Structure 1
Amino acid sequence: MKTIIRPLTDLSKNMTVIDDYAVKKNLPVYITKGGSSYLVVLSHDHYEKMQEEIAFLKRLATAEAESRRGELIDVDDLGKDLDNIILEEFRHDDREKSVPRELES
C-alpha cells in the first residue's frame, strides 16, 4: 500500500489533496506535526472496513482459543442455534411479514 505523508498545515491549506488520497483513492493519509506522526485521515468507508476486519479477527482469535481449550460446538447444534436466531429476527422485524418456510417448525 502506498504511504501518503502530509504536514498538518495541509489540513487547512490543501484539503483537496488529502480528500483525493483518503476518499477518492481510499488510502490512509498520515499527518505530521513538527516532523512527527500526529494524525491519520481515512475515508469513512475505509474506517468501517477496518473496524469490520478487526471484529472478524477478534472473533477468529476467540474461536481459536476456545478450540484449544476444547470448547467445541457440535455442527448440528450450531445450525439449530443459527436457525433460531434468524427466526427470532424475522419475528421481531416489523418490516418482514413472513418467515421463510424452511425455518418454520
Structure 2
Amino acid sequence: MPTIRPIADLRDTSKISELCHQKNEPVYITKNGSGHLVVMSMETYERQLGLLDVYRKLGAAEKQVEDGVSLLDGEEVFGRLREKHGK
C-alpha cells in the first residue's frame, strides 16, 4: 500500500525523512488532493535505479534473442572469467 501524505507534512522534514527510511519505498505527496511529488530515501532511489538498469539490460537481451543473435555458452563464459580473474 503506498504511503500518501499531504504537502503540509513537508514542514516537518524529519518526520518525512524517518517515514521514507522506515518504509523503504517512495512517499507520495499530494497538493489539494492530487498527486504532486514523490519523496524517497537515497537507498530507495539507488535501488530503483539499479532495478531500472536490470530491466533495460533484460530488454536488450530479449531483443537480441528475437533478432537471432547467437547465445553464448554459460559454462564457457564463466570459465573465461575464472581464468581472467584467477578464481
| TM-score between both structures, scaled by the size of structure 2 | 0.78
Cα–Cα, structure 1 residues 74 and 26, in superposed 2: closer, same or farther, change >3 Å? closer
Amino acid at match of 2:23: K
1:32 and 2:26 are equivalent in the alignment = no
Aligned residue pairs, count? 87
Q: Which has the larger radius of gyration?
A: 1
- Residues 6 and 29 in structure 1, CA contact (< 8 A), matched pair in contact too: yes
Match of 2:5 in 1: 6
1:34 shift after superposition = 1.9
Looking at structure 2, the residues matched to 6 and 25 of structure 1 have their Cα atoms a distance apart, in angstroms, of 13
Q: Which consecutive segments of 4 or more residues in structure 1 shift more than 4 A?
A: none
* Matching residue of 2:49: 51
Q: Equivalents in 2 of 1:27, 1:53: separation in Å?
A: 13
CA RMSD of aligned residues (A): 2.7
Q: Is the 8 A contact 1:31 1:41 kept in 2?
A: yes
Q: Which 5+ residue runs of structure 2 have no aligned equivalent? A: none
Q: Which residue of 2 aligns with 1:22?
A: 20
Counterpart-to-counterpart distance in 2, 1:11 and 1:23: 15
Identity %: 31
Tell me, which stretches of 5 or more residues in structure 1 are unaligned? 88-98
Residues in 2 aligned to 1:48 and 1:7: alpha-carbon distance in whole angstroms: 25
How far residue 20 of structure 1 moved from its aligned partner, in angstroms, is: 2.2
